[in-house]
Amino acid sequence: MSDAVSEAYNNDSYPAMSHPAGHPAVMAASALLGGLKTSEVGKARILEIGCSSGHHILPIAAAFPDTSFTAIDISTPAIQQARALADRAGIRNVQFHDADILSWTNHAEPFDYIIAHGFFSWVADEAKTALLRLCHDSLSKNGVAMISYNTLPGWSLRIPLRDIIQTLRRLPSCHDSSIAALDLLESAMRGANSDYGKHLQAIIRDARAKGEQQLKFDDLAPVVDPCYFSQFVHWCRQAGLKYLHESNLAPGSPALLPEGAAPVLQELRADPLLQQQLADFFTGRTFRTSLLCRHDAALQTPDFQTLMRLCVEVLVTLPETGNAVTDRVCDALRATQPQCVSIASWIDQVDSCSPEQAVSVILQLTQLGMVRLRSTPVIFSELIPEKPALSAWNREFLKQHNPVVDAFHLPCQFAADDRAILQSCDGSRSFAEIIDSCKNSGQIDAAHALFLHLGRRGLLL
Ligand SMILES: C[S@@+](CC[C@H](N)C(=O)[O-])C[C@H]1O[C@@H](n2cnc3c(N)ncnc32)[C@H](O)[C@@H]1O
């Protein structure tokens, strides 16, 4: 194992983050579109590689108490933190292992879902090979793995930023801070009108949004090794794995393609993998969340009834399109929000639109990244309870200054004032008392708005 990689993660904590594309219900729905019918999440065996302090896996484990989870990470402090968090939040169905993927072997049953987010591009080649071997050896017959990675050629445009930050950080005014280096760079580039200048400014904005700690483990990590999609698929094939689909479809939305790309891609319709590689060339995509299965897994185009059982999460404000059928489906979806329920549960209420038409619209919206499909619903009450409480794990995340994780598995950051209010949501104080305590700071309206937001994100128990 690369010493620099293990040292980085043992000496400093990786910023905690949950990843919707690595949620097994999202993986299951996307795998289905690729032709694989996976096991029910509620009865599955799930493995996470590089789990860090458990921020991703713990909320999923809490939501599926009968599912068995295993999670490994090379960082001893991160695993200790994950175990302590699970303990305090009363989550008992995750086994955390402090282990290097190079030497860890699964001695139990195979896994139905394997999640490796933020791992592949940030480790040495031997660990990449070990990950693919583990997926091959440990996936169940209809199991699915999600591996995220940085992609070329899009990512190569960001490589100079690493060198620039490392150079600028050394200037006394930057005090060894990457964000200060970015600020300096941005002010130096002010007024730049060249293509290079505009490109750099866009990258600076993106990098700054990550924050100091995230940058350290992302763009500035000891290993940052992006690859072409076609290269990744080739390695997977060599390891006896088959590429299925993407878990997160939004970055591959056809809407992001330049106008002239369609005829070129059309010419390649018999070779969908090459088509995808070309789409990456045309869009400059930087990241993928690829789903893999065993090379001998049985794949089948999903039938209509199976598609009807998929649940739809709305990700954007759905537009009025002027197309009557699409607009009726969008109206029906708006009416289900913020819940994420199966197509079958609302399809009958859509006038003058056959179930087949509705499913076809949903699949188009999915391709466009406007909705996300899940194999299980997300149902909660939006109402503010008399004594509002955050879940035990979210209270723990708050204590550790980490993002809280909403019902859709999105990490949510809050400003300091809002965090103080969230901290008081432990089920011991009434809503009226909490609102009353905001009187002195004149924050009553803001507190009401905050609670409405928390209700819509399914954060209140
Ligand atoms: C960039 S972090 C990603 C954490 C988390 N999965 C996420 O995406 O937010 C990579 C994680 O992989 C772990 N890691 C790196 N090399 C490893 C290895 N050889 N075996 C097991 N874990 C490793 C690190 O300790 C770190 O927690």
Q: Report the pLDDT value the prediction gives residue 376, as an integer from 0 to 100.
A: 98
Q: Determine the distance separating the centroid of ligand 1 and the alpha carbon of 164, expressed in angstroms.
A: 26
Q: Determine the distance separating the centroid of ligand 1 and the alpha carbon of 119, expressed in angstroms.
A: 5
- Predicted confidence (pLDDT) per residue in 381-433, tens digit: 999 999 999 999 999 999 989 999 999 999 999 998 899 899 999 999 999 99
Q: What angle do CA 89, 378, 69 make, to 5 degrees?
A: 45
Distance of CA 349 to CAs 68, 171, 304, 309, 327, Å? 37, 64, 18, 16, 14
Distance, CA of 72 to CA of 129 (rounded, Å): 16
Q: Determine the distance separating the centroid of ligand 1 and the alpha carbon of 329, expressed in angstroms.
A: 41
Residue nearest to atom 2 of ligand 1 (CA): 118
CA-22 nearest atom, ligand 1? 8
Distance, CA of 203 to CA of 371 (rounded, Å): 27
Distance of CA 262 to CAs 245, 253, 257, 271, Å? 20, 12, 8, 14
Kindly state if the Cβ of 72 falls inside 6 Å of ligand 1: yes
What is the residue extent of each domain of the chain? 3-152+226-294, 154-217, 304-374, 392-456
Q: Determine the distance separating the centroid of ligand 1 and the alpha carbon of 74, expressed in angstroms.
A: 7
Distance, CA of 166 to CA of 160 (rounded, Å): 10
Q: Report the pLDDT value the prediction gives residue 334, as an integer from 0 to 100.
A: 94
Contacts of residue 246, defined as CB under 8 A and 6 or more positions apart, other chains included, come to: 30, 252, 288, 289, 290, 291
Among residues 312, 252, 237, 306, the alpha carbon closest in space to that of 282 is found at: 252
Kindly state if the Cβ of 52 falls inside 6 Å of ligand 1: yes
Kindly state if the Cβ of 210 falls inside 6 Å of ligand 1: no
Q: Report the pLDDT value the prediction gives residue 67, as an integer from 0 to 100.
A: 98
Task: For the chain, give the mean pLDDT.
Answer: 93
At residue 380 the predicted structure's pLDDT band, cuts being 50, 70 and 90, is very high
Q: For the whole model, what pTM was predicted?
A: 0.94
Distance, CA of 47 to CA of 145 (rounded, Å): 9
pLDDT at 42 over 90: yes
Distance of CA 6 to CAs 62, 223, 320, 408, Å? 29, 11, 50, 31
Residue nearest to atom 1 of ligand 1 (CA): 118
- Predicted confidence (pLDDT) per residue in 251-283, tens digit: 888 889 999 999 999 999 899 999 999 999 999
> In the CATH hierarchy, which top-level class contains the domain 3-152+226-294?
alpha beta
Distance, CA of 316 to CA of 337 (rounded, Å): 11
391-417 CB burial, b ≥16 within 10 A, e <16: bbbbbbbbeeebbbbbbbbbbbebeee
Distance, CA of 347 to CA of 359 (rounded, Å): 9
Kindly state if the Cβ of 17 falls inside 6 Å of ligand 1: yes
pLDDT at 328 over 80: yes
Top-confidence residue, 9 or 270: 270
Kindly state if the Cβ of 224 falls inside 6 Å of ligand 1: no
At residue 2 the predicted structure's pLDDT band, cuts being 50, 70 and 90, is low
* Least-confidence region, from 142-156, 298-312, 442-456: 442-456
Identity at 160, one-letter amino acid code: P
Per-residue pLDDT averaged across 161-187, rounded?
Answer: 92
pLDDT at 1 over 60: no
Distance, CA of 381 to CA of 459 (rounded, Å): 9
Q: Report the pLDDT value the prediction gives residue 331, as an integer from 0 to 100.
A: 94
